[in-house]
Amino acid sequence: MKVAPVPAKERERLKALNEYAILNTEHETAYDFITELASKACGMPVSALSFIDSHRQWFKSCNGVEIAETTAFSLLCSQAIDQPDKVLVVKDLSESDWFGENPFVHKGQPLVFYAAAPIVTPEGYVVGLLAVFDTKPNNISLEHKQQLLLLAAEVVTLLELRKKTRLLKQREDDIKMAYTDLENIAHLASHDLRTPLNNIISLAQLINEEFGEKIGTDGGEYVKFITETAYYMSDLVSSIHSYSKASKLAVDQHDRINTLELLMEIKPLLKIPPHIRFDYHLDCYEITAPSLALKQVLFHLLLNAVQYCDKEAGIIDFTISENNTAWTFVIKDNGEGIAEEDKEKMYYLFKRLRNREKNGENMGIGLAIVKRLIEKMHGELIATSIPGKGSTFSFSIPK
């Protein structure tokens, strides 16, 4: 067999082929089905689907013959690569220089007729051939050529799907690895950092108590700064732990929930001051939802409404309603509202909004947790707010 010269842009062509990761793979029904269709469509006893590597022609599927690969880059391959837009036809291989030694034999007879449609990638590179053979000199019609080209295009569709599936799997693996790393970091932050931070706070308090007079006013300010910074770090560690814990709450198991009982569980945790009136309207007293995730969402939304009430007569209005497809929850308040420039970043993790540092525990994770959990429950959080007049947060959980 004569070895053909290396085609132009061979490096790019091989790169396109390797991206499919198809070489040396096992037989697959989808590809075998295509070679079988090629034989039947063209009325030929033999068909083969091959991919052209740098030094060989490797066969993914054969119908009517058994061959794994040819070990040299042939003139046939070179000719096909140079003609990506048409079917290559050789009426009699025995009268040409395409093969020195014909590797194709069907029922003891060498194959002499050859027609091949190129497998052309979306970028225009020929990575393989879908060929039909006969044991006698022959020809194929224009209709058969078109059918071969259509089947070759279907091969490309399978290859592209294969590539996308591999990329998705790789991204999934990368995400799983990153998630594991984040879990380890969260565990480190929420456990291993607590002890040294508590030690810093205790030592700072001890220095202030025992050596307050010696270090003077300036020294006392430094100690106070160290204490406040350590408390801030401690709150940040607690927030990381809270977010990590909330993010892992299961949402695939739905529980029967009495909405009034759920509200009565949450209400004492809010520590609502006397000047805030809390109204609730429950149109449905039983729902089905992930109970722990829903409780977290309602707690953070209602707590925000309590914390950011700046009116002497505060009002929080909480409603639950339903339709045929979902349960809807609405928390409305007449508090300070959210500034227009803060609306886009209010769901960012650890992003505290202006004038919203009410206490050391508020590290900007409440709304991040809320949004994450609602999305996991296949819902959508909608927020509207008028600065100085109040905010409304609503979300729905599909039934």
Please indicate, yes or no, whether residues 144 and 284 belong to a single structural domain of this protein: no
Please indicate, yes or no, whether residues 22 and 140 belong to a single structural domain of this protein: yes
Closest C-alpha among 76, 75, 65 to residue 35: 65
Cα torsion 295, 298, 302, 304: sign: positive
CA 47, 38, 167: angle at the middle one, nearest 5?
A: 90
Q: What is the pLDDT of residues 334-355, one digit of tens each?
A: 998 887 777 777 766 555 555 5
Average pLDDT of span 116-127? 94
Cα torsion 88, 90, 93, 97: sign: negative
Please indicate, yes or no, whether residues 331 and 279 belong to a single structural domain of this protein: yes
Please indicate, yes or no, whether residues 156 and 19 belong to a single structural domain of this protein: yes
Lowest mean pLDDT: which of 30-39, 71-80, 88-97, 278-287? 71-80
Distance CA 171, CA 312 (A): 52
Please indicate, yes or no, whether residues 35 and 159 belong to a single structural domain of this protein: yes
> For the chain, what is the mean pLDDT?
83
Among 145, 164, 183, which residue terminates a domain? 164
Lowest mean pLDDT: which of 34-48, 118-132, 208-222, 254-268? 208-222
Domain holding 360: CATH number?
A: 3.30.565.10
Please indicate, yes or no, whether residues 113 and 213 belong to a single structural domain of this protein: no
Please indicate, yes or no, whether residues 192 and 266 belong to a single structural domain of this protein: no
Quote the DSSP letter at residue 387.
Answer: T
Among 247, 271, 296, which residue terminates a domain? 247
Q: Is residue 4 part of a domain?
A: no
Please indicate, yes or no, whether residues 29 and 158 belong to a single structural domain of this protein: yes
Average pLDDT of span 225-252? 72
State the pLDDT confidence band at 44, using cuts at 50, 70 and 90: very high
Residue 132 has pLDDT above 70, yes or no: yes
Q: What is the pLDDT of residues 202-226, one digit of tens each?
A: 888 888 888 878 888 888 888 888 8
Closest C-alpha among 327, 332, 333 to residue 283: 327
CA 262, 266, 267: angle at the middle one, nearest 5?
A: 115
Residue 190 is part of which domain span? 169-247
Q: Is residue 5 part of a domain?
A: no
* Number of domains making up the chain: 3
Please indicate, yes or no, whether residues 154 and 237 belong to a single structural domain of this protein: no
Please indicate, yes or no, whether residues 128 and 187 belong to a single structural domain of this protein: no
- Amino acid at the residue 193: L
Q: What is the pLDDT of residue 364?
A: 55
State the pLDDT confidence band at 106, using cuts at 50, 70 and 90: low
Among 164, 187, 215, which residue terminates a domain? 164
Q: Which two three-digit tokens encode residue 185? A: 């970091």
Tokens 């300036």 -> residue: 218
State the pLDDT confidence band at 363, using cuts at 50, 70 and 90: very low
Average pLDDT of span 9-22? 92
- Amino acid at the residue 125: Y
